[in-house]
Amino acid sequence: MTVRKKILITGASSGLGEGMARQFAARGRDLALCARRTGRLDALAAELRSAHGVTVLTSALDVNDHDRVFEVFKEFREEFGTLDRIIVNAGLGKGQPIGTGRFDANKQTLETNFVAALAQAEAAMEIFRDQRAGHLVFVSSFSALRGLPKNLTAYAASKAGLSALADGIRADVAGKPIKVTTLLPGYIESEMSARSEGRNPLQTGAEAGARAMVKAIEREPAKAFVPTFPWLPLSVIMRVAPLPVLRKFA
């Protein structure tokens, strides 16, 4: 297994991004963390430096500012000399049923989860192609497997697009020392899930979920459902489930 020592994570100030940062720092990895909320980001960086003795760089970044994405990734690489792994994690969970007058929310979800992810992928792959090595990770979602109703329609579509983007890049660099991983998390506790009504019985705690994600990333597979159970077995059902069953996932 290749040890990726210098890791960039977007959307790292909270949720899954923060959880992964904690897990990687505990493993002694140096980190480049970016997010919109720099107060929380800088506090996390200081905590990780103190607790684990690792180098942690930070930068303010709204991934919808596409030019800034390229600038920040380049700056991190210049400071570290190399970037071994880039995790495209920043995302948005907004969404309303299609045709209910909330085009704004659905558009924002697709722009953040897909178009901004493309900008991150472009910036990352420019670096990896130049280095002739690297590991690009996309945090997609279990919901990418099927179109989903209600508030998840735009979100699921954005994540399906993200998974397809990852597949295309993976095919493009097949046989080269650049790896591409698609993570498909199930329900993991986060700020996004906290906004949902009630707690899903299949939901995994934040720390356990982040631990599962990092364990999967370290294996560098093409795709991984996290946590493996129950989401890998459920993926088989998800692909063939009739429409009434899909409503239970929304």
Q: Is 219 left (phi over 0), alpha (psi -120 to 50) or beta?
A: alpha
What's the structural domain count of the chain? 1
Give me the half-sphere count of Cα atoms (radius 13 Å) on the Cβ side of residue 219. 13
Residue 167 lies in a domain: yes
Query: Which residues are part of the catalytic machinery?
Result: 155
**Would you say 180 and 188 are in contact if contact means Cβ atoms under 8 Å apart?**
no
Q: In terms of residue numbers, what domain contains 171? A: 6-249
User: Is 112 within a domain?
Assistant: yes
Task: Encode the chain (250 residues) as per-residue pLDDT tens digits.
Answer: 678 999 999 999 999 999 999 999 999 999 999 999 899 999 999 999 999 999 999 999 999 999 999 999 999 999 999 999 999 999 998 899 999 999 999 999 999 999 999 999 999 999 999 999 999 999 999 999 999 999 999 999 999 999 999 999 999 999 999 999 999 999 999 765 555 555 567 888 999 999 999 999 999 999 999 999 999 999 998 988 888 777 776 6
Which pTM value belongs to this model? 0.94
CB-count exposure of residue 116 (10 Å: 0-12, 13-18, 19+): buried
Q: Residue 19's domain is classified under what CATH number?
A: 3.40.50.720
